[in-house]
Amino acid sequence: MTNETTPPAKPKRPFFLRRGPMENIATALIAVGFLMLFQPFALVLYTYSLVTLLAGTVMFIIVSKFPE
Amino acid sequence: MTDNNTTLLDKAAEKAVRATPVPLVYRVRGLSDRSIAWLFILPTIVLLLAINIFPLIWAVYLSFTNFRANRPNAEIEGVGFSNYQRVLTDPDIWQAMQTTAHFVFWTILLQMLIGFALAYLIDRKFRGHAFWTTVILIPMMLSPAVVGNFWRFLYQPQIGLFNYVYAFFTGVEPSSFQMLGSVTLSPWAIIIVDTWMWTPYVMLICLAGLRSIPDYIYEAAEVDRASAWRQFWSITVPMALPFIMLAVLFRAIENFKMFDMVVLLTGGGPGSTTEVASITLKREAFESWRTGRASAFAIILFVAVFGLANIYVKALNRVKQR
């Protein structure tokens, strides 16, 4: 009879420290910011495009350093 | 004779060793591989910092000031985010952004379609394909100044070849339309020239992608009785996709900065129909001399292209891993 033991499951990192979902959020922010910057529909979207883009880019740079 | 020479050389080497200051000898001998590597790359890093990083940081600093390059002795005052606020609420700059987006979208779409089609044809290796590859590559090798002037002549409504060719196929009067003087046609005139000039570049990258696909995959598909259409969509396109994406990235970054061709062909006109972001930026910086505001505008463009490049590289890595 073999004594099989399963390795203890690693504790899950909090959502805000997980690379995958955070990278996706950052990517979405960059994409939205980019569209806001070049869209022809509303000046107000253009005005807030830089903030969105900057938030996404900074977030992307930070979260891409998180371990997989 | 040879022995004599060797002795002389030995003596010279010994002399050089003796003449070298002792501390330096020890310092050089004591350097680790890592330190030597640093020593070699240090000049490049210094150069990079001086001509890339420093101007970038300086532009960020200027974007928060009221600095004007035509008044270098005037006192520089900090204005906070006011330059950014003005750029981001100016309808003219917003219009320039839309014009830029229009150019980038159409030039990239056309260049990708035509470039990939040409690469697919050239990859068939027909008779004389090397000659035709060289012929197709010629526009890419020309200077934009030459291309701009050359196309200005081609677009001349009275003597230009373009109007005559169009008239030949459609039957309209050659001098009845102006490619560079019309509000509706001038953006397309620039798109045609950029596509003509840079499609060969896209073709070259796509060709590299097509040539990297091993033949045995197609042979296996043939054995499985896959149709040519099926082979194209299931083998050719997915395997050439990283190369196509690279071409899109390179061309997009380049076309966001499109300047020379527009200046040579239309100068941003008629009116401001073809005024792309880089022309507005140049006018702000060197005609209105609002250097601070122009720096803020440049930083906004930089953030946009940098952000796009980031997500694009991520997508590229995903495609490569597949």
Residues of chain B above pLDDT 70, percent: 95
pLDDT tens digits, B39-50: 999 999 999 999
Closest chain B C-alpha to A2 CA, distance in angstroms:
38
DSSP-derived 3-state class of residue B78: strand
Whether this prediction's pTM lies above 0.90 is answered by: no
Asked if residue B270 has a cis previous peptide bond (ω within 30° of 0), the answer is yes
Confidence class for position B282, pLDDT limits 50, 70, 90? very high
Please state the CATH superfamily assignment of the domain spanning residues B84-321 in this structure. MetI-like (1.10.3720.10)
Q: Is A57 on the interface with B (CB under 8 A)?
A: yes
Q: Which residues of chain A have pLDDT under 70?
A: 1-5, 8-11
Q: Which residues of A touch B91 (CB under 8 A)?
A: 43
Q: Which residues of A touch B307 (CB under 8 A)?
A: 30, 33-34, 53, 56-57, 60
Answer yes or no: do A27 and B314 touch at CB < 8 A.
yes
Distance CA B257, CA B126 (A): 37
Closest chain A C-alpha to B177 CA, distance in angstroms:
28
Task: Determine contact, residues A29/A51, Cβ cutoff 8 Å.
Answer: no
Hey, what are B297's tokens?
A: 């505008």
DSSP-derived 3-state class of residue B15: helix
Task: Determine contact, residues A50/A37, Cβ cutoff 8 Å.
Answer: yes
Q: Mean pLDDT over residues B205-209, rounded?
A: 93
Distance CA A18, CA A68 (A): 8
Q: Is B168 on the interface with A (CB under 8 A)?
A: no
Task: Determine contact, residues B135/B128, Cβ cutoff 8 Å.
Answer: no
Long-range contacts: B45-52, Cβ < 8 Å, 24+? none
Going by the DSSP 8-state scheme, the letter that residue B80 receives in this structure is T
Q: Which of A36-40, B88-92, B169-173, B190-194 bottoms out in mean pLDDT, i.e. has the lowest? A: B169-173
User: Where in chain B do CATH 1.10.3720.10 domains reside?
Assistant: 84-321
Hey, what are B18's tokens?
A: 């003796």
Which residues lie below 8 Å from residue A55, measured CB to CB, with a gap of 6+? A29, A33
Other beta carbons within 10 Å of B124: 8
Task: Determine contact, residues B227/B239, Cβ cutoff 8 Å.
Answer: no
Distance CA A48, CA B64 (A): 18
Q: Is A22 on the interface with B (CB under 8 A)?
A: no
Tell me how far CA of residue B146 lies from CA of A18, A26, B120, B141, in angstroms.
52, 42, 29, 10
The pLDDT value recorded for residue B6 is 66
The pLDDT value recorded for residue B11 is 82
What b/e readout covers B252-276, taking b as 16+ CB neighbours within 10 angstroms?
beebbebeebbbbbbebeeeebbbb
Among A25, A57, A65, A66, which would you mutate to test the B interface (most chain B Cβ atoms within 10 Å of its Cβ)?
A57
Q: Which residues of B touch A31 (CB under 8 A)?
A: 311
CB pairs < 8 Å spanning A and B: 49
Distance CA A19, CA A13 (A): 10
Q: Is A34 on the interface with B (CB under 8 A)?
A: yes
Other beta carbons within 10 Å of B147: 20
Other beta carbons within 10 Å of B82: 15
pLDDT tens digits, B250-280: 899 889 888 999 999 998 878 889 999 999 9
Comparing CA positions, the residue from B149, B205, B153 lying closest to residue B179 is B153
Closest chain A C-alpha to B237 CA, distance in angstroms:
25
Closest chain A C-alpha to B302 CA, distance in angstroms:
11
Answer yes or no: do A46 and B311 touch at CB < 8 A.
no
Strand partners, B65: B78
Mean pLDDT of chain B: 89
Closest chain B C-alpha to A36 CA, distance in angstroms:
11
DSSP-derived 3-state class of residue B65: strand
C-alpha dihedral (B49, B55, B58, B60), degrees to nearest 10: -110
